[in-house]
Amino acid sequence: MSVRELWFTQPYHVEVRERSLPPLASGHIRVKNECSAISAGTEMLVYRGQLPSDISLDATLESLQHDQTYPLQYGYACVGRVEQIGAEVDSSWLGKRVFSFQPHASHFTATPEQVILLPDDIEPEAAVFLANMETAVNLVLDGSPALGERVLILGQGVVGLLVSSLLAQFPLTQLVALESLSLRKDQALKFGVQHVYDPHSATDLASLEQLLHLPVQLSDTAKSGADLIYEVSGVASALNLAINLSSYAGRIVIGSWYGNKAANLHLGGVAHRNRLKFISSQVSTIAPEWSGRWDKSRRFDVAWDMIRRVQPQQMISHRVPLEQAPFLYSLLDQAPEEILQSVLTY
């Protein structure tokens, strides 16, 4: 038996490699993938050679605990069926559908503890959103949106859209977003965002500032700016825009992973005077203020429930066989406006 694997061999180049599968070790299961989701924000950093050199790909996932040097494998949203079990594995695992944080490949081997059973009512194409939905749940928790707040989301990629879909369920005064790509803007409105503005349009930015009662007047700070801003665009310079659009004592949740891209922040003006709070949100851990009542199991349960409510599989725009992955990554790099969510099939 052989496995087909996706490898990032150098910047702007991926290839599918085939190798023989070793015998299954005791205590392990072998899963045949049905589909895996490409997380464009992080995977484009890998594709473009923009990974930071001082940290691992992920602090908690064993499948991503390797050097950030090419060639390397990446990916963390696989759904498949258990087709073989090793000694000392309960026979009930055979045939089960599971999710796992594994790189893109036709098969993978793991222990039962490294996979998550799919609920019976959730299909594989919905389940591939589990990782990004968990991220969205974590972002909402870290931002702590409150009744009547004005919330702004910078970026409506898949994570931004999922955050929007969750925040649309809150009793907010305003839920608005910044995004330039039409597919994303249309989906944001379907998910309940009230207005979507183009960050490259001076007219749109002026309209947003008017909506938020900007510029901030120090005598009327309570009525000016966004109370809560999520930066999930992947563009480091967007943080300065977030600073300018924030309210007095506003919260800016940084959900983007910029890789090795630097952010030249303007902290000497309104960022200083307005007592802004910057919150770094990352899904590998749970914030200390939540960890007394929340663990990863509870967060996964909420993520599954949100998948049921939101039906994120409606965002899948491309289903591509693994062998066509080089074309798909090139398209993501050169024409992101054509893709919402892409999925590899096996």
d(C-alpha 336, C-alpha 114), whole Å? 32
Q: Which bin fits 62, alpha (ψ -120 to 50), beta or left (φ > 0)?
A: alpha
The rounded mean pLDDT for the chain is: 93
Among 219-233, 265-279, 280-294, the range scoring the smallest mean pLDDT is: 219-233
* pLDDT of the residue at 85: 98
* pLDDT of the residue at 216: 53
Segment 274-319, tens digit of pLDDT:
999 999 999 999 999 999 999 999 999 999 999 999 999 999 999 9
Residue 192 reports pLDDT greater than 60: yes
Segment 58-108, tens digit of pLDDT:
555 565 545 679 999 999 999 999 999 999 999 999 999 999 999 999 999
Please give the distance of CA 85 from its chain centroid, rounded to a whole number.
31
End-to-end CA distance of the chain: 15
Percent of the chain whose pLDDT exceeds 70: 93
**What separation in angstroms does the CA of 158 have from each of 48, 95, 339?**
19, 30, 10
* pLDDT of the residue at 63: 52
Identical fold, 2-128+311-345 and 132-280 = no
d(C-alpha 302, C-alpha 298), whole Å? 6
* pLDDT of the residue at 55: 60
Residue 239 reports pLDDT greater than 60: yes
**What separation in angstroms does the CA of 193 have from each of 160, 171, 176, 185?**
11, 12, 6, 9
* pLDDT of the residue at 65: 47
pTM of the model: 0.93
* pLDDT of the residue at 271: 84
62 touches 114 (CB < 8 A)? yes
296 touches 151 (CB < 8 A)? no
* pLDDT of the residue at 278: 95
Identify the bridge partners of residue 30 per DSSP, sorted by sequence position. 84, 109
* pLDDT of the residue at 68: 74
What's the mean pLDDT in 232-244? 94
d(C-alpha 296, C-alpha 301), whole Å? 9
Joined tokens for residue 289: 């203020």
**All residues at 6 or more sequence positions from 51 whose CB lies less than 8 Å from its CB, including other chains:** 45, 57, 68, 259, 260
Residue spans per domain, the chain:
2-128+311-345, 132-280
Residue 218 reports pLDDT greater than 80: no
* pLDDT of the residue at 46: 96
Q: What would the DSSP string read from start to end of 142-182?
A: HH---TT-EEEEE--SHHHHHHHHHHTTS--SEEEEE---H
CATH of domain 2-128+311-345: 3.90.180.10
Backbone angles phi, psi at 278, to 5 degrees: -95, 130
226 touches 247 (CB < 8 A)? yes
Segment 123-160, tens digit of pLDDT:
999 999 999 999 999 999 999 999 999 999 999 999 99
pLDDT band of residue 272 (cuts 50, 70, 90) is confident
111 touches 29 (CB < 8 A)? yes
d(C-alpha 133, C-alpha 122), whole Å? 14
* pLDDT of the residue at 320: 97
Q: Please state the CATH superfamily assignment of the domain spanning residues 132-280 in this structure.
A: NAD(P)-binding Rossmann-like Domain (3.40.50.720)
Segment 297-308, tens digit of pLDDT:
999 999 999 999
